[in-house]
Each structure stands twice: as structure tokens, then as C-alpha cells.
Amino acid sequence: MRTATKMFAFSAFFSLGVGTIYWLLSHERAGAVLLLFMFLAPLFIACYLLLRARRLRLPEDDAEGRPGEGAGVDIGRFHAASLWPFVTALGASLAVLGAVYGRWLALAGGTVMAAAVVGLMRESRG
């Protein structure tokens, strides 16, 4: 994970440098604020990774790692099939169409989406 941390840190400090130069040269606010956030967002991820990665040793990063290593380590549950993503997207698109065509559609879409999200969560637990 060291490489990932470095990548995020690089983009954070790159934006800090560019943003500082940009602000000093232009005093233009929109771009400076955007660059500020492009400093903060990757910095946040880099800090998180820095804290996490200290305890994390991945067989992936072992240059001598063999394909069989790490077998049996649980990396999470993969759902073979799920209808809920489709329903969630259906609800979301109805909801945004509701913003164009009327509140009733947004309400229907929101309900569908909420139901789908509940479905997704129950699926994860079960």
C-alpha cells in the first residue's frame, strides 16, 4: 500500500504547489478553491492509508509471493447475483426525472430507491 499512499500524497502536494502559485499569480477564487479541495481530498485518503498500511501486510506486495500464498484468507463475500442494483438505479432515475417532470415521480422514485437500499443492506447481512 506504500505506493498507493505515495500516489495520493503526490497528487495532494502537487495541487498544493500549483494552487499556491495560482492564487499568488491570479487572485482568482473559483480555481483556487477547487485546487484547495484537490489538495485536501487526496491528503485525507493518504493519511488514512498511512495509518492503515502500517498494520497491513498484503501478499500482493511481496515481490517473492507465490500464487498459492494467502490462500484461505477471507477477502469478503462476493454476491453471485443481485437484483437490487438494478432496482436502485431504476429508483434513482425515476427520482431525477421527477425533478424535471413533477414531484409525484420523484416521490415514487425515492420510495423505490429507499426500498432497494434496504434490500441491499439486508442482503449484505444475510
Partner 1 sequence: MDRGTGGRVVSVTLERPPPTPPPLRARSGGILEWITTTDHKKIGLLYIGTTFLFFLAGGLMALLMRIELAEPGLQVLTKNAYNQLFTIHGTTMVFLFIAPMGLGLANYFVPLQIGAPDMAFPRLNALSYWLFLAGGATILLSFFASGGASAAGWTAYYPLSGPQGSPGPGVDLWIMGVLLASASSVMTAVNLMVTAFLLRAPGMTMWRLPLFVWNMIITSLMILVSFPPITAGLSLLFIDRHLGGHFFDPASGGSVVLYQHLFWWFGHPEVYIMILPFFGIVTDIIPVFSRKPVFGYLGFVFASLAIAGLSMSVWAHHMFTTGAVLNPFFSMMSFLIAVPTGIKFFNWIGTMWGGQIRFDTPMLWCLGFMLNFLLGGITGVMVASPPIDFAVHDTYFVVAHFHYVLAGGSLFGIFAGLYYWFPKMTGFRLSERTGKAVFVLVFVGFNLSFFGMHLLGLRGMQRRIADYPADVGWTWLNQIATLGTVIMGIGVVLFAWNVLEAFRGRRPAGDDPWEGYTLEWSTTSPPPEHNFTWLPPIRSERPLFDWRQRDKDMGAEEVRK
- Distances from the Cα of 22 to the Cα of 28, 32, 34, 121, 125, angstroms: 8, 7, 11, 45, 48
The count of C-alpha atoms lying within 13 angstroms of the C-alpha of 65, restricted to the half-sphere facing its C-beta, is 12
At 16, list the grid cell: 498544493
Taking the complex as a whole, the smallest distance from the CB of residue 6 to partner 1 amounts, in Å, to: 10
Q: Say whether residue 102 binds partner 1 (CB under 8 A).
A: no
Residues interacting with partner 1, by CB under 8 A? 1, 3-4, 7-8, 10-11, 14-15, 18, 21-22, 25-26, 28, 30-31, 34-35, 38, 41-42, 58-86, 88-90, 92-93, 96-97, 99-101, 119-120, 122-123, 126
